[in-house]
């Protein structure tokens, strides 16, 4: 508007031009419609009203809160409360029913599985992995090998009370002793390692293994059973299958025998609600290994 | 802000420039026409300029309220400064009769009829299914269209329809220009309806101009209130009809009246009622000129074979009223009666050539034909005409090519083929689609699980959609071939989580998600990857669906 230019009337239209030209095309100086102007004023007024209604102007210690009292934090709280309210009837039913009853109600089981998956990812995946595939020292929950039992009731108990959890007196408790403290000498340990490799179907030294059978019967069978198939009452693993929590090679077995093992799992009943523990139990049970 | 753009300038300026044009001494070019003695136009741009108004005597549209004096205060061209902003010049379209007007009445009746009536058509789909023929069921994520039911994952049908709508617009635009604007656009149709109401209540053009000019009195207030009330009722019905597409119409109608409907329904109705009332009653042509992007896009899709509403100035000019005066034999057919201007809902003078305001509603054709019939001249001084025809006609070869030769040209054929091809493909796929939708997702974390006896297990999430309206029983099966021994099955065992069998029910119109496990049998040789087909079969109808996936295991070196 401010630029000065020679008044130039476009011959074709009779309108003066702004003096702006691109490739021989000149811009005509036509007026805007008046309603456009009023719309512009309207948006200005709207913007001012908006700053009065909603949080806006910065003040010395905080921002002006707006007369409507809106805040995004309060909105999140409202939405969380709304979701909690919507889930309440489901969670109440989960809390009230037994695990097998929940599992047999398709709709409720679906809700519980979805909730259990979310809780698992929040609290359990740090150790057991996002797919519950486990890691060395942290059991894989997808397979069919269970230290403390794989039916719904047993899984629920383990989650609820934990394993060797000091905060819970009903916790699952047992210990793999450290046989390296003098209970067994080096030769005996080497023998029992070969025996364990024999009963788990791995490559082994037959002579050492034969000697190891005796050592095993004297020192290990009390917990792991005479056949080495373990004992779920005390969380003693089956040594004859293909699944190893700490590894089945000689180095790992030596370490286990010398230092013992005592993995820990928190008692989640102290931290989660009853319904949450049940949901995780149902989720873990349906991963594929549930009994 | 001054000078909102060159696009508008060329034509909006045209009608404002009358006074300026008159002030200028009539130049030679204005007398002789733009191309006299210059030979043929060089290119398409000059083709468009054939209709350039310097060939004609420019007429600024008179403001009917100020007794025909053009308002020059909005933009004085003498450079002494004027307002930067132009007020809207009110338009009072006159009633007209004729072929195109009748055609438009029919299109309006059918289009509005479809819009208002469709939600009320019932269609029986069996118990517990909605019985509304056309329903967008957002809550249950279904779209019903008579016998067709579309699930969210089949939304590509809607995308296909949108593509067809787009190509359809290209097709119609390349044939007949802004034919969508002139006949079918909701803005045009509802504005037409509102003008019809206005005419019933306040009278035709002259009565309405008189009414605007007279001071407020009881009669004027009464007429205005009546008009606005009828407009509001139409607007309310328009907004109301829209929400009926999204819920069971009779139920929603009862709820709306008793005040129990969802606030969203009321809000949507209120917004659509207001926009219909305001756009149809007051904003009218301003929407087309300033708000709508489509006319700008359309201009780029027209070519010299596109039919547009054209004033045949080579036949009409020089125009003149006084037929009995001396020298009248030199006059063209246009008697300058202004009928074409009076009926125009966009408030333009078609005799100034093609201009961006023109929505090609063709009412000026009807108006001019009426006049031509009365003065005993052939019809079609204003008519649908292509730029290519224009060149032929100006050189004395009218109807050089029949109209169908203008319409059927490669570009149109390509558009039509594309449009029809997509439509056919959609129809075929719609009728061929299965009533079972099977989706298999293999677990990726972990990819496989080693079991205590050395077996390998894979987990799959299977989703089966039953698109029929009764519960169906399916049986799951699989087919896996040993990659090392083609033709020999790979020994696997299937299991559905929480079930002893491989059969399962899916309720009517529902999707069910199952977890399936495949485990190697004891004598299986572990392979890193085996191709697997998962089959689902309806036990009653034996309809089947298949999905392909893989069974993964450890590589040889990873085995203990």
* Reported ipTM exceeds the 0.85 cut: no
* Token pair listed for B54: 């310097």
Lowest-confidence segment of A67-71, B174-178, B432-436 by average pLDDT: B432-436
Give the C-alpha distances (Å, rounded to integers) separating B247 from A214, B131, B144: 79, 11, 11
- Greatest alpha-carbon pair distance for chain A in Å reads 115
* Token pair listed for B226: 């009546």
A264 assigned binding-site residue: no
Is residue B134 classed as helix, strand or coil in its secondary structure? strand
B452 and A238: CB-CB below 8 Å? Answer: yes
Mind giving me the DSSP string for B96-115? --SHHHHHHHHHHHHHHHHH
Residue of B nearest to A244 (CA): B452
User: CB neighbours of A69 closer than 8 A, spacing ≥ 6?
Assistant: none
How many CA atoms lie less than 13 Å away from B377 in the CB half-sphere? 16
Give the Cα separation of A30 and B74 in Å (integer).
9
Chain B: closest CA distance from residue A168 (Å): 31
The domain locations on chain A are 30-67, 84-171+269-289, 186-259
Is residue A116 classed as helix, strand or coil in its secondary structure? helix
Beta strands in chain A (DSSP E): 17-22, 25-28, 32-33
Kindly report whether the global pTM for this prediction surpasses the value 0.90: no
Burial of B81 (0-12, 13-18, 19+ CB in 10 A): exposed
> Any CB–CB contact under 8 A between B17 and chain A?
yes
pLDDT digits (tens, 9 = 90+) for B359-405: 999 999 999 999 999 988 999 999 999 988 888 888 888 777 787 88
* Token pair listed for B162: 């949108």
* Token pair listed for B136: 């967008």
Strands B511-520 and B544-552: unpaired
A169 DSSP 8-state letter: T
A234 DSSP 8-state letter: G
Name which of B186, B208, B184, B187 is nearest B198 in CA terms: B208
Q: Supply the CATH classification number for the domain A84-171+269-289.
A: 1.10.760.10
Element (H, E) at B514: strand B511-520
What is the CB neighbour count within 10 angstroms for residue A88? 11
Burial of B266 (0-12, 13-18, 19+ CB in 10 A): middle
Q: Which of B2, B87, B449 sits opposite A29 (nearest CB)?
A: B2
Q: Which of A32, A145, A288 sits opposite B1 (nearest CB)?
A: A32
> Any CB–CB contact under 8 A between B443 and chain A?
yes
What is the CB neighbour count within 10 angstroms for residue B135? 23
pLDDT digits (tens, 9 = 90+) for B271-307: 999 999 999 999 999 999 988 998 888 888 888 899 9
B10 and A13: CB-CB below 8 Å? Answer: yes
Q: Supply the CATH classification number for the domain A186-259.
A: 1.10.760.10
What is the CB neighbour count within 10 angstroms for residue B127? 9
Mean confidence (pLDDT) of chain B:
83
Give the Cα separation of A94 and A88 in Å (integer).
10
B43-52, B191-200, B317-326: which is most confident: B191-200
Strands B308-311 and B142-145: unpaired
What residue spans of B28-146 are helical by DSSP H? 28-32, 44-49, 99-117
Q: Phi, psi (5° rounding) for residue B445? A: -140, 95
* B6 pLDDT more than 60: no
Q: Are B435 and B464 in contact (CB under 8 A)?
A: no
Give the C-alpha distances (Å, rounded to integers) separating B542 from A59, B473, B503: 73, 10, 13
* B558 pLDDT more than 70: no
> Any CB–CB contact under 8 A between A291 and chain B?
no
Name which of B534, B524, B522, B449 is nearest B484 in CA terms: B524
The rounded percent of chain B whose pLDDT value lies above 70 is 84
Give the Cα separation of B13 and A17 in Å (integer).
11
pLDDT at B67: 52
Give the Cα separation of B317 and B332 in Å (integer).
5
* B2 pLDDT more than 90: no
Q: Which long-range contacts (CB under 8 A, 24 or more apart) does B236-241 make?
A: B236/B269, B236/B273, B237/B116, B238/B115, B238/B190, B238/B272, B238/B273, B238/B276, B239/B268, B239/B269, B239/B270, B239/B271, B239/B272, B239/B273, B239/B276, B240/B269, B240/B273, B241/B115, B241/B116, B241/B119
Q: Are B325 and B194 in contact (CB under 8 A)?
A: no
A176 assigned binding-site residue: yes
pLDDT at B477: 94
Give the Cα separation of A270 and A170 in Å (integer).
12
pLDDT at B400: 72
What is the CB neighbour count within 10 angstroms for residue A177? 15
Strands B148-150 and B142-145: antiparallel
List all residues of chain A from 178 to 237 with a beta carbon under 8 Å from chain B.
202
> Any CB–CB contact under 8 A between A114 and chain B?
no
* B79 pLDDT more than 60: no
pLDDT at B70: 44
Interval B497-521 mean pLDDT? 91
Query: Given this chain, do its domains A84-171+269-289 and A186-259 carry the same CATH topology?
Result: yes
A142 and B75: CB-CB below 8 Å? Answer: no
Q: Phi, psi (5° rounding) for residue A152? A: -55, -45
> Any CB–CB contact under 8 A between A121 and chain B?
no
Give the Cα separation of B100 and B97 in Å (integer).
8
Q: Taking the CA atoms of B220, B225, B226 and B230 in sequence, report the sign of the dihedral they define.
A: positive
Give the Cα separation of A244 and A145 in Å (integer).
9
Per-residue pLDDT of chain A in tens (291 residues, 90 and over written 9): 445 556 778 777 778 888 888 898 888 888 888 888 999 999 999 999 999 999 999 999 988 989 998 999 999 999 999 999 999 999 999 999 999 999 999 889 999 999 999 999 999 999 999 999 999 999 999 999 999 999 999 999 999 999 999 999 999 999 899 999 889 999 999 999 999 999 999 999 999 999 999 999 999 999 999 999 999 999 999 999 999 999 999 999 999 999 999 999 999 999 999 999 999 999 999 998 888
* B89 pLDDT more than 90: no
């Amino acid at each position: 508007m401010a630029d000065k230019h020679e008044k130039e009337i476009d011959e074709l239209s009779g309108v003066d031009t702004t003096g702006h030209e691109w490739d021989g095309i000149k811009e005509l100086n036509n007026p805007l419609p008046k309603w456009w102007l009023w719309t512009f004023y309207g948006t200005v007024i709207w913007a001012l009203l908006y700053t009065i209604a909603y949080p806006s102007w910065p003040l010395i210690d905080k921002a002006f809160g707006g007369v409507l009292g809106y805040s995004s934090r309060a909105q999140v709280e409202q939405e969380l409360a709304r979701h909690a309210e919507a889930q309440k009837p489901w969670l109440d039913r989960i809390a009230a029913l037994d695990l097998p009853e929940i599992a047999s109600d398709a709709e409720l089981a679906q809700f519980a599985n979805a909730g259990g998956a979310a809780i698992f990812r929040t609290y359990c995946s740090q150790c057991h992995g996002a797919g519950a595939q486990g890691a060395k020292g942290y059991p894989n929950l997808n397979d069919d090998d269970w230290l403390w039992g794989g039916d719904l009731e047993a899984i629920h108990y383990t989650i609820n009370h934990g394993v060797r959890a000091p905060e819970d007196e009903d916790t699952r408790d047992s210990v793999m002793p450290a046989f390296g403290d003098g209970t067994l000498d080096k030769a005996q340990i080497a023998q029992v390692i070969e025996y364990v490799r024999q009963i788990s179907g791995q490559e082994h030294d037959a002579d050492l293994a034969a000697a190891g059978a005796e050592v095993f019967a004297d020192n290990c069978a009390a917990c792991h059973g005479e056949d080495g198939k373990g004992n779920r009452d005390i969380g003693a693993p089956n040594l004859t299958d293909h699944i190893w929590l700490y590894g089945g090679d000689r180095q790992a077995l030596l370490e286990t025998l010398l230092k013992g093992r005592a993995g820990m799992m928190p008692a989640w009943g102290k931290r989660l609600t009853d319904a949450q523990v049940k949901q995780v139990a149902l989720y873990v049970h349906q991963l594929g290994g549930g009994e | 802000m001054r000078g909102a753009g060159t696009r508008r300038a060329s034509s909006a300026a045209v009608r404002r420039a009358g006074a300026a044009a008159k002030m200028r001494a009539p130049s030679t070019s204005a007398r002789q026409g733009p191309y006299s003695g210059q030979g043929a136009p060089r290119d398409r741009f000059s083709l468009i300029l054939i209709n350039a108004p310097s060939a004609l005597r420019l007429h600024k549209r008179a403001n009917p309220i100020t007794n025909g004096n053009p308002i020059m205060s909005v933009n004085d061209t003498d450079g002494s400064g004027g307002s930067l902003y132009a007020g809207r010049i009110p338009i009072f379209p006159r009633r007209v009769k004729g072929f195109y007007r009748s055609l438009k009445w029919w299109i309006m009746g059918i289009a509005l009829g479809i819009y208002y009536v469709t939600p009320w058509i019932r269609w029986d789909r069996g118990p517990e299914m909605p019985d509304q023929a056309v329903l967008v069921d957002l809550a249950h994520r279904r779209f019903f269209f008579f016998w067709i039911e579309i699930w969210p994952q089949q939304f590509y049908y809607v995308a296909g329809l949108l593509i067809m709508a787009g190509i359809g617009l290209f097709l119609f635009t390349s044939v007949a220009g802004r034919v969508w604007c002139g006949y079918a656009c909701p803005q045009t149709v509802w504005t037409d309806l509102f003008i019809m109401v206005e005419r019933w209540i306040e009278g035709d053009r002259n009565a309405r101009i008189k009414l605007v000019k007279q001071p407020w009195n009881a009669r004027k207030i009464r007429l205005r209130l009546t008009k606005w009330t009828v407009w509001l009722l139409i607007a309310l019905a328009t907004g109301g009809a829209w929400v009926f597409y999204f819920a069971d119409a009779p139920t929603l109608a009862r709820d709306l009246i008793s005040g129990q409907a969802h606030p969203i329904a009321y809000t949507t109705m209120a917004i659509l009622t207001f926009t219909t009332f305001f756009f149809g009653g007051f904003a009218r042509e301003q929407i087309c000129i300033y708000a709508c992007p489509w006319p700008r896009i359309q201009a780029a899709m027209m070519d010299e074979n596109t039919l547009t509403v054209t004033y045949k100035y080579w036949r009409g000019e020089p125009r003149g009223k006084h037929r009995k005066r001396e020298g009248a034999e030199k006059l063209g057919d246009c008697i300058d009666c202004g009928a074409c201007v009076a009926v125009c809902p966009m408030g333009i003078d078609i005799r100034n050539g093609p201009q961006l305001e023109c929505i090609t509603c063709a009412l000026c054709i009807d108006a001019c034909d009426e006049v031509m019939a009365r003065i005993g001249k052939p019809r079609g001084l204003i008519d649908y005409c292509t730029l290519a025809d224009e060149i032929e006609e100006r050189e004395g070869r009218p109807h050089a090519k029949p109209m169908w030769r203008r319409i059927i040209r490669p570009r149109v054929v390509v558009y039509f083929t594309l449009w029809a091809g997509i439509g056919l493909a959609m129809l075929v796929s719609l009728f061929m689609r299965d009533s079972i939708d099977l989706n298999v997702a293999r677990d990726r974390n972990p990819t496989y699980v080693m079991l205590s006896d050395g077996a390998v297990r894979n987990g799959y999430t299977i989703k089966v959609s039953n698109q029929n309206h009764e519960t169906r029983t399916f049986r799951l099966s699989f087919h896996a071939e040993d990659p090392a021994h083609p033709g020999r099955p790979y020994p696997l065992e299937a299991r559905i989580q929480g079930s002893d069998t491989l059969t399962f029910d899916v309720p009517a119109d529902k999707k069910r998600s199952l977890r399936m496990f495949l485990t190697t049998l004891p004598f299986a040789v572990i392979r890193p990857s085996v191709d697997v087909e998962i089959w689902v079969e309806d036990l009653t109808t034996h309809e089947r669906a298949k999905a392909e996936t893989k069974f993964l295991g450890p590589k040889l070196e990873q085995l203990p």
